[in-house]
Structure 1
């Protein structure tokens, strides 16, 4: 691990973005959780969708917002064919409520159009439109999951900045962990975050994710400090085991929790939902 994360990865280049304080801390409403990753292809959208289904089963009012504005694929994972997307809302063609639809699993989704070059950069217009959407939806839900793009682009970092909690999805592959480290370092330096939460997808053996998180924590302790002077703290939220049922569900464009609720990966996602509910969704006095 330490070898894989040695320089030059200790100084990831990121597009400068003015830090935005976590939006959810500004007032009442849904708990906003950004589900993000250092690289693509690690199952981030799969986790977002199935986690939403698991939280919905537990009685939470959940909305998943496809925050990967230029390369949206939440609709593909859920086999949805929206008539109205965030693009229509941003351009004033449709009201926001027309773009919110029900997904299999009972939760709400707000889908983005794919291939929209104008959303590949964080312009003032995109920033303001995104903020307006977040302000409008948060009073109506208990949880808003932001399924962000991968990496450390300005659009991704802005989306993440709107969340009170960040869930980093990674796999045990060295490239995934190296990119996760780079993303975590940027979150510590630019957004002044004190902690992020980790889920290890496609874990080969029980306990692998906790060991990986511990090794990554050691690298952060050595190279990354937060505004308080302390190391960025990684909180291990769980592992999703490598499971052939996952590929089958993805290929069928169905939620794993609906297609194979008793498989190992489904049970792990249910455990993740339980941990999120018990640690992040407890009402404050």
Structure 2
């Protein structure tokens, strides 16, 4: 995880400030990762269900334009996606569907090559969608793609907060470091929240967060002179129930609500709720 492993800087995407959109409406959280295959979409979906159980109005937006798979995780077969909205073939209201778990979902099309590049048209349409749905919800989770492409960085730039998902594997941690570096240097993020998935032992995630923090303090300098602060939000333990839920295309919180990973998701939701604007201070 040394600095030589990090990729060269990309041009910062022209988007809204990294502090997120202004005005009243949903708190937007980008769920992202440096590497694919770490459980990001699985966590987005189950976190949405857990937040909904806490009485919040939640929408998950599949921001992985072109390689969407939120519909697979939720076992949904949408006739209308963001592709139809962007092309004027359907309205935004027609594209928002009710997902298992009681939250709303806005799904993207899969295999759409035209969304692999961030064009001005896609950028403006995406911003318009966000601005339209924000007043309707308390929380919007942006399930972004993995990595640091311009499409991913643009999606993340629209969020108030970043929840980065990583696993204890060295490749995941190296890519997480690279993603965090880009977020703090290009988007001027002062902090990034981490959830460590597939941990083997209690305390693994906190130790990993501490190690990443030390590397960032050594190699990454921000404009303020202060290192980006990593906030450990919790661990999702390695649990065979997760694979069973994925294979059945069901939410873990519905299929096996008492398993260790599901209980960890509920704890994560509680911590996320405590960070929302207007949340009561913990006693």
TM-score range, shorter chain: over 0.9
2:11 is the alignment partner of 1:35: no
2:5 is the alignment partner of 1:9: yes
The offset of 1:281, in angstroms, is 4.4
- Native 8 Å contact 2:57 2:137 kept in 1: yes
1:242-267 residue CA offsets vs partner (Å, 9 max, x unmatched): 00000000000000000000000000
Give 2:185's aligned residue.
189
1:139-179 residue CA offsets vs partner (Å, 9 max, x unmatched): 00000000000000000000000000000000000000000
2:228 is the alignment partner of 1:232: yes
RMSD: 1.3
Give 2:51's aligned residue.
55
SS at match of 1:26: coil
Give 1:257's aligned residue.
253
Question: Which consecutive residues of structure 2, in runs of 5 or more, have no partner in the other structure?
Answer: none
Give 1:81's aligned residue.
77
Determine which of 123, 126, 130 is the counterpart of 2:122: 126
- Native 8 Å contact 1:10 1:182 kept in 2: yes
The offset of 1:282, in angstroms, is 3.1
Q: Distance in 1 between matches of 2:135 and 2:19?
A: 13
Give 1:159's aligned residue.
155
Give 1:274's aligned residue.
270
Structure 1 length as normaliser, TM-score? 0.96
Q: Distance in 2 between matches of 1:283 and 1:210?
A: 24
> 1:211/1:109 Cα in 2 relative to 1: closer, same or farther (>3 Å)?
same
Determine which of 80, 88, 95 is the counterpart of 1:99: 95
Q: Distance in 1 between matches of 2:3 and 2:212?
A: 14
> 1:86/1:11 Cα in 2 relative to 1: closer, same or farther (>3 Å)?
closer
SS at match of 1:168: strand
Give 1:149's aligned residue.
145
2:16 is the alignment partner of 1:20: yes
The offset of 1:13, in angstroms, is 4.4
- 5 Å-filtered alignment, 1:187-226, equals 187-226=183-222
Give 2:176's aligned residue.
180
- Native 8 Å contact 2:20 2:157 kept in 1: no
Aligned residue pairs, count: 280
Question: Which consecutive residues of structure 1, in runs of 5 or more, have no partner in the other structure?
Answer: none
1:222-252 residue CA offsets vs partner (Å, 9 max, x unmatched): 0112221100110000000000000000000
Structure 2 length as normaliser, TM-score? 0.96
Determine which of 110, 113, 123 is the counterpart of 1:114: 110
Q: Distance in 1 between matches of 2:269 and 2:93?
A: 26
